[in-house]
């Protein structure tokens, strides 16, 4: 169970606090290689503009206040071949990540200022506060939006490093300077202008800095937004990557006040009604980061009967204005965005 927990946290490094002791947290083997031919010459600003447009547009992303991802995690380092997860996010950087495996729950929650980790200890749940490194990592991350969306408004700057080759496809290599003074790297496909890889440094348990490299595959359309349906880490020759397979995405669900507070704590009286959010948009599988978690959400393929109470942390759905669709996860592990 410990190995499973570490693998899951390494896979979630793009949105959650780091866990560098996981086996899948290393970078792909070898640096990207330079292709023999280069794509059109564009400035960093032009590449970012095309990327934002390819992801659905700035205005569309600004309308997303909350997002819910459901899917499963595949890893050779886990005792189970597939583990279900749920990730809820609220603008700008609140997160609630939960898995249920072998009857035990693992949970990470961040409210924008502080966070908590809940994991089984000898069969009993134990809550641990985020470390300073965990909090800084969360605050320095992309948040609910893709890394390059609205980057200037967030105090970030971008530099073009050149053109590399990722999975035999040309990609622009961008360096992102964050407000905390850290450097993160992202590669944008030269044809689709969708992100294909994202690298960022994290601090391990011993304080040493390491790099987590994440590969994005098989983008799907979610109500006009492009979000990867497969996220991999530990990619390299002869190495089976750890994968997050996103089967369903809901945009702007109404989240209960308990979603982003310390596990086991009661929300304040003024929070009991949940968060006022705009109309619920939704929907496609694969739009972001699998069947829903047991005991937390109903299975994606089935809707709750009329009058049935909503699961904890998720408010009852509004009138059926939002459409929902669902398809099985991609079966080709090596497929890259095309």
SS (H, E, C) the chain: CHHHHHHHHHHCCCCCCCCCCCCCCCCCCCCCECCCCCCCCCCHHHHHHHHHHHCCCHHHHHCCCEEEEEEEEECCCCCCCCEEEEEEEECCCEEEEEEEECCEEEEEEECCCCEEEEEEECCEEEEEECCHHHHHHHHCCCCCCCCCCCCHHHCCEEEEEEEEEECCEEEEEEEEECCCCCEEEEEEECCCCCEEEEEEEEECCCCCEEEEEEEEEEEEEECCEEEEEEEEECCECCECCEEEEEEEEEECCCECHHHHCCCCCCCCHHHCCCCCCCCCEECCCCCCCCCCCCCCCCCCCCCCCCCCCCCCCECCCCCCCCCCCCCCCCCCCCCCCC
What is the pLDDT at residue 306? 45
Which phi-psi region, left, alpha or beta, contains residue 51 (left: φ > 0; alpha: ψ -120 to 50)? alpha
pLDDT at residue 33, rounded to an integer: 53
Q: What is the pLDDT of residues 321-333, one digit of tens each?
A: 443 434 344 444 3
**Low-confidence spans in the chain with pLDDT less than 70:** 1-38, 79, 121-125, 204-207, 235-238, 269-338
Determine the pLDDT at residue 265: 84
- In this predicted structure, what is the pLDDT of residue 76? 80
Q: Cα(217)–Cα(200) distance, rounded to whole angstroms?
A: 18
Neighbours of 170 (CB within 10 A): 19
Domains of the chain: 2-282 (2.50.20.10)
pLDDT of residue 232: 93
pLDDT at position 193 is 98
pLDDT at 87: 96
pLDDT at 294 (0 to 100): 30
């Amino acid at each position: 169970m410990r190995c499973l927990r570490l693998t899951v946290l390494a896979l979630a490094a793009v949105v959650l606090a780091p866990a560098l002791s996981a086996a899948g947290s290393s970078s792909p083997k070898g640096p990207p290689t330079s292709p023999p031919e280069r794509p059109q010459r564009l400035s960093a600003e032009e590449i970012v503009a095309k990327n934002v447009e390819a992801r659905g547009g700035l205005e569309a992303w600004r309308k997303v206040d909350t997002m819910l991802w459901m899917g499963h995690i595949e890893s050779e380092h886990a005792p189970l071949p597939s583990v279900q997860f749920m990730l809820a996010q609220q603008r700008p950087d609140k997160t609630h990540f939960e898995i249920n495996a072998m009857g035990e729950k693992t949970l990470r929650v961040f409210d924008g200022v502080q966070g908590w980790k809940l994991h089984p200890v000898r069969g009993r749940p134990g809550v641990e506060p985020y470390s300073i490194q965990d909090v800084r990592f969360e605050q320095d991350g992309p948040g609910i939006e893709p890394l390059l969306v609205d980057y200037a408004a967030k105090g970030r700057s971008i530099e073009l490093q050149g053109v590399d080759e990722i999975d035999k496809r040309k990609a622009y290599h961008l360096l992102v300077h964050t407000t905390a003074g850290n450097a993160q790297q992202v590669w944008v496909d030269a044809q689709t202008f969708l992100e294909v890889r994202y690298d960022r440094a994290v601090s391990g348990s011993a304080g040493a800095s390491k790099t987590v490299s994440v590969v994005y595959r098989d983008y799907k359309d979610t109500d006009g937004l492009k979000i990867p349906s497969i996220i991999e880490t530990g990619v390299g020759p002869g190495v089976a990557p750890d994968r997050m397979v996103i089967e369903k995405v809901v945009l702007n669900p109404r989240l209960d006040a308990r979603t982003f507070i310390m596990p086991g704590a009661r929300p304040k009286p003024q929070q009991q009604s949940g968060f006022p959010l705009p109309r619920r948009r939704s929907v496609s599988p694969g739009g972001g980061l699998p069947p829903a978690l047991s005991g937390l959400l109903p299975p994606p393929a089935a809707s709750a009967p009329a009058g049935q109470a909503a699961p904890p942390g998720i408010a009852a759905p509004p009138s059926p204005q939002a459409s929902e669709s669902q398809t099985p996860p991609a079966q080709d592990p090596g497929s890259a965005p095309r």
